[in-house]
Amino acid sequence: MTIARNALYFEDYVLSIQYFNQVINAKPYLYEPYFYRGMAKFYLDDYQGAEEDCSLAIQRNPFVVGAYQVRGLSRIRQSKFDLAIEDYSSALRFDPENVSLLHNLALCHLQKKDYSAAREELGRLLEVSPRYTSAYLMRGEAFLHENDTTAAINDFNRAIELERFEPNGYSARAMVELQQAKYKEAEEDFDQAIRLSVRNASNYINRALARFHQNNLRGAMSDYDLALDIEPGNFIGHYNRGLLRAQVGDDNRAIEDFDFVLKIDPDDMMATFNRGVLRSQTGDYRGAISDFSHVLDVYPNFLAGYYQRAEARKKIGDRRGAEQDEFQIMKAQIDQLNNPTQQSGGSNDEVASNSDSNGEKTRKRSDKNVENYRKIVIADDSDSQNEYANVSRGRVQDRDVQIKPEPLFALTYYEKSSDLKRNVHYHHFIDELNHRNLTPGSLLISNREAPLTVGQVNYHFSDIDKKSAEIAEGKADATLQFYRGLDFYLVQDLDNADQDFTKSIEIDSSFFPAYFMRSLVRNKKLEYKKAQASVSPRQLNEEGVIKDEVSSTDYDLIKSDLDMVIELAPDFVYAFFNRGTLQISLGNYRAALADYDYVIEMRPEFAEAYYNRGLTHIFLGNNKQGISDLSKAGELGEVEAYNVIKRFSSIEE
């Protein structure tokens, strides 16, 4: 159970499930393995399996708040909102002031469109936690759905007042200002939201709309460019940029945008018609005729379609076809004179109420009135979701980018993939170990460890058995003990890993990788112990001392291992990096800076060291130096640095 919970805490979900299975097979009457296995399944997006496991846990112990909470989250993910409400109501009987439970209960009511109940629950939440900004944002959304714009604005203003570095308050208020046609104020609020959350495509899309209404077409196109850099498959971004490109005469690139839109939705007739017009303007008359014909098959009374096709047919010499189209136009005009209420764009399909005669410059994406082909597209209400509503992953108080140091480096076989090119971390001694071919793969130096797959877990269990047999036969040496310790580390058996690394050191006190990995294992054990202490009631041991409390002596053991690595291999900069990061956790910022200075002096392209040194300067109040280091980290591939720079630049100003 301990190893399984270690694996779960360190996000090794597949491995943790295997350990929980063993506990369930041995003692099926315990609630904990079902509950924690349900959590692991939830994080693997197996929401049905998570719901079933939490139900089994509740059958065995109906008083565990966490089981109701995880089952409620799983039910939200499956749109079972009524059942989720039952779970949160049950949990609140045992923990009536739990902010997370109240938040998600209100979210369920919002999803059900029961806005009155949502406001009631949010009122309870604000009584418990008056400074909880997400509650104001959610209540503001409920007020908007009830058409109480004044109350909504008041709540958004309050959220901004409480947390001026939170982007969602500005973007929520800006959306209301867009609806009120306060385009200048909306643009200013979107500016601030973008400043605080530079990688949010929706804010650029919406700011483009505010700029469009102020006739700033170039600015709007620039925003669509930025949005599509972040989210290349955004339908609205491509459609609207295509329209704006057409307005400024950039026909060929406008065609590219509509080509992309039609790959996403081949049945979008307005995009098809717009592309046809652009093809005609660029001389591709046959392509234009194909597009116009496709539209007229769906909308046989669309006069603009016949007119455009007639002109294109004339260009290729198809007089007969052009005359037929002109006849259709004349016939429709005569019919309109006889029946003035007939709509020119009518068809067998339903026609949206938003017609071209209403003077609006925009249309909803679901609008099917082909007459509105020139209008900028905005999202349907059901597509517009604020970020604060997505709380069913992780903890509700987490920000988009957590301001925390880069994690410790480790020796591992598995590394998470990255879209960005990163430096390969190298050391000659580790390279020599790899050339001995004693391991299943090359040892990597990385702080982006990947969780193991089922096959990898099974391999390391069998490798532990193999190496244990060799050790029992008296073949043990420092490297064999080290590699078995590494196997134990990878399957999250931290106690056995600690013992093996210690044994390796006893055999060969100069083998520095064993010191390095032992420091990492001991740090992980402390990290897990601290996490448990934060959620568990304090207990005293037989001597009257608080049980499992983390002391400075525990950190001294980790630091002494890193000191030994530095003594044995002063060019192994990863020990300096890890020691610096350990010093941050202890609040020894000056000592941390000294370690990072050495790392950067030895390896000027070490992005993670710049990032952590930048944060350390900020923790000390040296924002200017911190931002300089973060800028360098961003340049070297640490994209999270830019969000931190945005937040602290405003403080510097």
Structure tokens belonging to residue 611 = 């990032």
Find tokens 């001995």 and name the residue: 436
410-536+546-652: CATH class:
mainly alpha
Distances (CA, A) of 616 to 275, 385, 585: 53, 35, 11
Distances (CA, A) of 71 to 9, 21, 77, 389, 469: 19, 19, 10, 18, 43
**% helix / strand / coil in the chain, to the nearest 5?**
70, 0, 30
The answer to whether residue 44 scores a pLDDT higher than 50 is yes
State the amino acid at position 560 in one-letter form: S
Summarised one tens digit per residue, pLDDT across range 295-345 is: 999 999 899 999 999 999 999 999 999 999 999 999 888 877 777 655 444
Q: What does the pLDDT average to over 141-164?
A: 93
The answer to whether residue 502 scores a pLDDT higher than 80 is yes
| Domain range list for the chain | 233-341+375-388, 410-536+546-652
401 band by pLDDT with thresholds 50, 70 and 90: low
Q: What does the pLDDT average to over 508-518?
A: 96
What pLDDT score does 548 carry?
53
Mean pLDDT of the chain, nearest integer: 86
Topology alike, domains 233-341+375-388 and 410-536+546-652 = yes
Summarised one tens digit per residue, pLDDT across range 472-489 is: 998 878 999 999 999 999
What pLDDT score does 346 carry?
44
Residue of 500, 502, 488, 486 whose CA lies nearest to 442: 486
The answer to whether residue 139 scores a pLDDT higher than 50 is yes
Is the CA virtual torsion 619, 625, 631, 636 positive or negative? Answer: negative
600 band by pLDDT with thresholds 50, 70 and 90: very high
Q: Decide if 166 contacts 199 (C-beta within 8 A).
A: no
Residue of 405, 481, 483 whose CA lies nearest to 447: 405
Residue of 363, 368, 372, 388 whose CA lies nearest to 236: 363
Give dist(CA 137, CA 159) in Å, integer.
Answer: 7
Q: Decide if 36 contacts 5 (C-beta within 8 A).
A: yes
Q: Decide if 209 contacts 378 (C-beta within 8 A).
A: yes
Is the CA virtual torsion 96, 97, 101, 104 positive or negative? Answer: positive
Q: What is the CATH number of domain 233-341+375-388?
A: 1.25.40.10
Tell how strand 444-446 and strand 410-412 pair up: antiparallel
What pLDDT score does 222 carry?
93
Instruction: Calculate the CA dihedral of residues 293, 295, 297, 299 and round it to 10 degrees.
Output: -140
74 band by pLDDT with thresholds 50, 70 and 90: very high
Q: What does the pLDDT average to over 144-168?
A: 93
What pLDDT score does 356 carry?
43
Give dist(CA 420, CA 408) in Å, integer.
Answer: 20
Q: What is the DSSP letter of 18?
A: H
Instruction: Give me the residues paired with residue 411 across strands.
Output: 445
Report angle CA 618, 621, 622 to the nearest 5 degrees.
70
The answer to whether residue 63 scores a pLDDT higher than 70 is yes
Q: Decide if 42 contacts 73 (C-beta within 8 A).
A: yes
Chain centroid to CA 304: 44
Chain centroid to CA 475: 48
What pLDDT score does 386 carry?
46
**Three-class secondary structure of residue 376 per DSSP:** strand
Give dist(CA 437, CA 19) in Å, integer.
Answer: 30
Find tokens 């797959």 and name the residue: 453
Structure tokens belonging to residue 129 = 């936690």
Between 42 and 517, the higher pLDDT residue? 517
Q: What does the pLDDT average to over 590-607?
A: 94
What pLDDT score does 574 carry?
97
Q: Decide if 101 contacts 95 (C-beta within 8 A).
A: yes
Q: Decide if 356 contacts 344 (C-beta within 8 A).
A: no
Give dist(CA 462, CA 448) in Å, integer.
Answer: 25
The answer to whether residue 29 scores a pLDDT higher than 90 is yes
Give dist(CA 16, CA 38) in Å, integer.
Answer: 11
Largest CA-CA distance found in the chain, in angstroms, rounded: 104
Q: Average the pLDDT over each of 131-140, 205-214, 255-264, 532-541 and give the range with the smallest value.
A: 532-541
Summarised one tens digit per residue, pLDDT across range 602-621 is: 999 899 999 999 999 999 98
Residue of 259, 260, 172, 244 whose CA lies nearest to 208: 244
Q: Decide if 382 contacts 594 (C-beta within 8 A).
A: no
What pLDDT score does 353 carry?
35
Burial of residue 295 (CB within 10 Å: 0-12, 13-18, 19+) is buried
Chain centroid to CA 392: 12
Summarised one tens digit per residue, pLDDT across range 520-555 is: 999 999 988 887 776 555 554 555 555 556 666 788
Other CB atoms within 10 Å distance of the CB of residue 248 = 11
Question: Alpha helices, DSSP H only, in 44-132?
Answer: 47-60, 65-77, 81-94, 99-111, 115-128
Q: Please report how the helices 167-179 and 201-213 are oriented relative to each other, as an axis angle in degrees rounded to 10.
A: 30
Rg (CA), the chain: 31
What pLDDT score does 492 carry?
92
Q: What does the pLDDT average to over 267-290?
A: 95
Is the CA virtual torsion 115, 117, 123, 125 positive or negative? Answer: negative
Whether the pTM exceeds 0.85: the reply is: no
Q: Decide if 516 contacts 501 (C-beta within 8 A).
A: no
Residue of 73, 107, 67, 111 whose CA lies nearest to 91: 67
What pLDDT score does 350 carry?
37
List all residues 6 or more positions away from 288 whose beta carbon is below 8 Å from its beta carbon: 276, 277, 279, 280, 308, 309, 312
Give dist(CA 96, CA 102) in Å, integer.
Answer: 8
Q: Among residues of the chain, what percentage have pLDDT more than 70?
A: 88
